[in-house]
Amino acid sequence: MTDVNTMPGHLIRRYHQASVAIFHARVAELGYDLTPVQYAALAKIEAQPGIDQVTLAGLIAYDRTTIGGVVDRLVQKNFLVREVSATDRRARVLKLTELGETTLHQLAPTVEAAQQQMLSGLEPGEQAEFVRLLQKATAGVNQMSRAPLKEAE
Interface residues toward DNA, by CB under 7 A: 13, 17, 20-21, 24, 35, 37-38, 52-55, 62-66, 68-71, 73, 85, 88-93, 145-147
Q: 130 contacts which partner out of DNA, its own copies, none, CB within 5 to 8 A by kind?
A: its own copies
By CB under 8 A, name the binding residues for its own copies: 1-2, 4-23, 25, 36-37, 39-40, 43-44, 60-61, 108, 111-112, 114-115, 117-122, 126, 129-131, 133-142, 144-147, 149
Min dist. Cβ of residue 15 to DNA (A)? 11
| DSSP letter, residue 85 | -
Helix (H, G, I), strand (E, B) or coil at 52: strand
> What ranges in 1-153 are assigned the alpha helix state H?
8-29, 36-47, 53-60, 64-76, 98-118, 124-140
**Over the Cα atoms of the chain, what is R_g?**
17
Min dist. Cβ of residue 119 to its own copies (A)? 6
95 pairs with which residues across the strands? 81
